[in-house]
Amino acid sequence: MQGRRVLVVGGAGYIGSHCALLLQEAGAEITVYDDLSTGYAEAVTGRLVRGDVRDRARLETVLQEGRFDAVMHFAARLLVGESVAHPLAYFDTNVAGTCALLSAMAAADVRTLVFSSSCAIYGEPRTLPLDEAHPFAPVSPYGLTKLMVEQVLDACREREGFRIASLRYFNAAGAHPGGRLGEAHDPETHLVPLALEAAAGWRRIRLFGRDYPTPDGTCIRDYVHVWDLAEAHRLALEALWAGQAGRAWNVGTGTGSSVLEVIAAVERVTGRSVQRDDAPRRPGDPPALYAKADAIRQDLGWIPRHPDLEVTVEHAWRWLQAPRYGRYPRRP
């Protein structure tokens, strides 16, 4: 990785910023391309170029001038509920934006890409754990945009000479183990930060559904540490540079935790109670989602270093106690 130039599109956001830092620590030279619509300048590693992912001409200039060895693409809208209400904005940013990026990459002859995909492309699981061969039936426009992009990427891999890895994330959580970066969405919708904010006394949390067909009645998800996700990107990039054409890989721990288990972990880590209220099910939430991630282990040697939910929560709590950016009322 030493001296390799990587353009991290969407590198000011939660997952992109962690990946950029990990790649820099591995020796890469990082440029972040981000419009800062949801990301933070303070989260950026390396040089920041401000721009929109749909701005093909600007991307082409940046790519041509930077002589990059690869692109990592994180720039996307990610709120499932919002995608149901405003699907067009999601097709525009997530699908048209990726097409603009791919065209700019082809024009600049940079044909190595790691793409942020999602387990949302599978929809309601028919079998668990979910492996990569599970049928695709996204239930939200958000999931559909990720599936559409994967199909575009397949064509680019087959016909346009691209090498591409798509990483299908399960639930990213946690923060940089040293506290340099963390999760700071605005609005925050994710369970781990919301439960921690409730432990800090800033809010109450709603439990979206207590009547699911799971052992404790709450939804089960696979919470993967964001630093482990970042490591998956590094390994994927190395494989592409070694000559592999790439493919789609699930990135999850393989273990599911229920909403109540997450809250219990938050209470143990913080030593505080999480004030909660029962609430109706959130539309489109399947009862359980967890990964079969054998392929990425076998193909890339990826092993989650932080598989323990409590460690993930601990790192997120450390961040919340001393955040370097984001909008928070005060320290817990």
Catalytic residues: 142
Answer for which of 180, 203, 206, 272 binds ligand UFG (CB under 6 A) is 206
Instruction: Pick left, alpha or beta for residue 123 (phi over 0 → left; psi -120 to 50 → alpha; otherwise beta).
Output: left
| CB of 120 or CB of 200, closer to ligand UFG | 120
CA angle 85, 87, 92 (to 5 degrees): 145
DSSP string computed for 280-324: PPPTT--SB--B--HHHHHHH----S---HHHHHHHHHHHHHS-S
Residue 194 lies near ligand UFG (rule: CB under 6 A): yes
Restricted to residues 256-285, the positions that interact with ligand UFG (CB under 6 A) are 259, 282, 285
Residue that has been written with the tokens 């696979």 in this structure? 222
| CB of 45 or CB of 140, closer to ligand UFG | 140
How far, in Å, CA of 296 to CA of 166, rounded?
11
| CB of 180 or CB of 190, closer to ligand UFG | 190
> Which positions from 151 to 180 touch ligand UFG by CB under 6 A, shown as an x/- string?
--------------------x---------
The residue type at 89:
A
How far, in Å, CA of 77 to CA of 79, rounded?
6
How far, in Å, CA of 245 to CA of 3, rounded?
22
Restricted to residues 211-250, the positions that interact with ligand UFG (CB under 6 A) are 219, 221
Residue 191 lies near ligand UFG (rule: CB under 6 A): yes
- Choices 8-16, 18-26, 27-35, 185-193; region in contact with ligand UFG by CB under 6 A: 185-193
DSSP strand E in the chain: where? 5-9, 29-34, 47-50, 70-73, 112-118, 163-169, 171-173, 205-208, 220-221, 223-225, 248-251, 257-258, 276-279
Do 7 and 63 meet the contact criterion of CB atoms below 8 Å apart?
Answer: yes
Q: Which residues pair with 68 in a beta bridge?
A: none
Least distance between ligand UFG and beta carbon 164 (Å): 20
Residue 145 lies near ligand UFG (rule: CB under 6 A): no
- Number of amino acids touching ligand UFG (CB under 6 A): 21
Answer for which of 8, 205, 226, 248 binds ligand UFG (CB under 6 A) is 205
> Which positions from 68 to 107 touch ligand UFG by CB under 6 A, shown as an x/- string?
----------x-x---------------------------
Answer for which of 74, 115, 142, 162 binds ligand UFG (CB under 6 A) is 142
Which residues here bind ligand UFG, judged by CB under 6 A?
78, 80, 118-120, 142, 171, 189-191, 194, 205-208, 219, 221, 259, 282, 285, 289
